[in-house]
Amino acid sequence: MISNKIKEIVEQRKKSIQRDIDFMRDIGSEIFKNNRRPLSEIIKNNQGISIISEIKPASPTLGNIKKNINVKEIATEMESAGVIGLSVLTEPNYFNGSYENLKLAIQSTKLPCLMKDFVVDEIQYKIAAQIGATNILIINSICNLEDSYRKALEYSLEPLIEIHNIEELNDIRHLYDIGFKPTLIGVNNRNLKTLEIDLNTSKEIIPKIKREFGDDIIVVSESGVNIIENINFLLQYQADAFLIGSSIMKSNNIKEKILSLRGVN
């Protein structure tokens, strides 16, 4: 089950696809070339705390987080603070995201970049691939996972499969049953029905993922990570990485905030 707010966001995203079509027309056939490795490979080889830092101008729960952001400046600051990747909101209606923000983040850094959106149309995969994203978010509860996973691979994008409860592991099992080997799963600590956040969601689900699918699968804990104590708590339950948006974006000193989350003085 998902909340009425999430249903509303998804419906509005479907209605705004014309913006995506216009963007695709404007960028033409030029493809941004890069040799970046996807998030799972970077996380697997990272020795320290793996943080995926999110460029998130607004959210439905917080409203405007940062107005008139300089994406190039923020992205390079995040990279210099030692994050292993970037997540960039491209959802325009509730998060004030844009493809232009994603494009700037990709062009300004050497980091793997996740396109974070409510993916409801094939053109979103096309744009993500064309402007150089390495990863794309697939929210299991709003899509057909098998179809979405196939589409991501078709466009050479590593999917970050986002789940919110233990029952959704059945959909991951189905991918294995039909021959796929997912590399990256996100456990979102936000309940999509109530919109409340509980880190115990990761505590419950991540060990089950690791036991069933093995340590090679990379699991990212999402939402509600604000301080290093949250990270240390989740590390006990085998979280491999942390996708952090609001607490970093709200900070007056992004680099200092990321260093504190990484445990670097």
Determine whether 122 is an active site residue: no
How far lies 146's CA from each of 85, 171, 180, 186, in Å?
25, 8, 9, 16
Determine whether 208 is an active site residue: no
DSSP 179: T
What is the DSSP secondary-structure string of 134-148? Answer: SEEEEEGGGS-HHHH
From the list 54, 79, 91, 158, the catalytic residue is 54
SS3 47: coil
State the Cα–Cα distance between residues 243 and 191, nearest whole angstrom: 16
Determine whether 56 is an active site residue: yes
From the list 96, 98, 116, 141, the catalytic residue is 116
Residue reference for tokens 């989740």 = 234
- Reference 114, options 67, 162, 68; nearest CA is 162
Determine whether 165 is an active site residue: no
From the list 101, 135, 223, 230, the catalytic residue is 223
Determine whether 79 is an active site residue: no
From the list 40, 87, 188, 202, the catalytic residue is 188
Determine whether 162 is an active site residue: yes
State the Cα–Cα distance between residues 118 and 133, nearest whole angstrom: 15
State the Cα–Cα distance between residues 211 and 133, nearest whole angstrom: 30
Q: What are the beta bridge partners of residue 161?
A: 138, 185
Residue reference for tokens 């680099």 = 255
Torsion 228-230-234-240 (CA) sign: negative
From the list 151, 162, 189, 221, the catalytic residue is 162
SS3 203: helix
From the list 50, 56, 79, 257, the catalytic residue is 56
Determine whether 54 is an active site residue: yes
What residues are labeled active site? 54, 56, 116, 162, 188, 222-223
